[in-house]
A = this chain, B = another copy of it.
């Protein structure tokens, strides 16, 4: 398949998932809570986790149809984390629209998150009525690790001794874990052998790291239009990203002093754009952006290598293409 064919297949899969998502939504009351849930689930987005789950199912010989409800489940779980994280981070926009707690209020957002998690389980447990136990256990492990990752992320905001190893431990839980759970769940649903399940889980783990590193990178190299929010948000918030931690370890003199202020959240009274440009310039000068790019490519290659143990198929080719597309994405 060529790139255009891959794109068509991806668009078709996303449309299929969005259609299923609408029918698995919530019909409860009151209206605010129902609207909040639809607002989140209907926001579009790349559907990374559900697409990966369905393709992983197909890659081991399963059908897309049997993986759709579990695909919805990981997507709903992911959105649950976004809605609650946005409350915790006081984020005002996501995907170019106001966050739930800004559009409604914090209490509604808290409950929207809780309901999304309930919907995730409802849809997963409806899958394969025979034995949803192993899938639900997998998703629960991911849920607990994602919470742990978010708690570590918040703790790092208050700490001044965060290392790059700490950073990787955190993103592995906060971002990598659910992506790996998605590919693993897909392989289980498709009836993969234990070796195939392990391979697809490994694919998700490496891809998850690459994906988060790319996210950190896009915060400074993408445009506001592409991001759906102002550029350099991580810098302004002093988020301990791979970029900031790596640069802080390398810089000396005035650069080091400025990064130290950014890390401690005591940056001197510069205008936002001046600060962001200044720090981005430091990143460039110390080769941090290239280094991130290099690591992203390395993790992506490791991910694609894991696919070697899966029989070649359209789905496994799609997985490799999708990994590449995520790494070259602009938003």
Contacts and interface: CB of A to CB of B under 8 A. Distances in A.
Interface of A: 26, 28-30, 32-33, 84, 87-88, 107-108, 110-111, 113-115, 117-119, 121-122, 125-126, 129, 131-133, 136-137, 140-141, 143-144, 147-148, 150-152, 154-155
Given A125-B133, A154-B107, A115 B144 contact: yes
A110 B29 CA distance: 22
B131 A144 contact: no
A114 B88 CA distance: 13
Given A129-B133, A131-B131, A136-B132, A151 B118 contact: no
Contacts of A141: 122
B148 A122 contact: no
A204 B118 CA distance: 22
A147 B313 CA distance: 43
- 3 A-B pairs with least C-beta separation: A118-B144, A33-B151, A88-B107
B133 A119 contact: no
A247 to B, nearest CB: 25
How many monomers of this protein are in the complex?
A: 2
B110 A151 contact: no
A140 B122 contact: yes
B111 A137 contact: no
Contact of A118 (B111, B119, B140, B152): B140
A129 B28 CA distance: 31
Given A30-B155, A133-B132, A147 B114 contact: yes
B129 A143 contact: no
A214 to B, nearest CB: 26
Contacts of A107: 87-88, 154
10 contacts: A28-B148, A29-B148, A30-B151, A30-B155, A32-B151, A32-B155, A33-B147, A108-B151, A114-B117, A129-B133
A111 B30 contact: no
A114 B148 contact: no
Given A121-B140, A133-B133, 5 more contacts: A84-B111, A117-B143, A118-B147, A119-B144, A125-B133
A91 B10 CA distance: 47
Contacts of A129: 133
A264 to B, nearest CB: 19
Interface centre among A108, A115, A129, A147 (most CB of B within 10 A): A147
Contacts of A117: 114, 117, 143
A276 B92 CA distance: 40
Contacts of A113: 114
Given A84-B110, A121-B121, A144-B118, A29 B137 contact: no
A196 to B, nearest CB: 23
A126 to B, nearest CB: 8
B147 A121 contact: no
Contacts of A152: 29-30
Contacts of A87: 107, 110
Given A33-B148, A151-B32, A88 B110 contact: yes
A29 B155 CA distance: 10
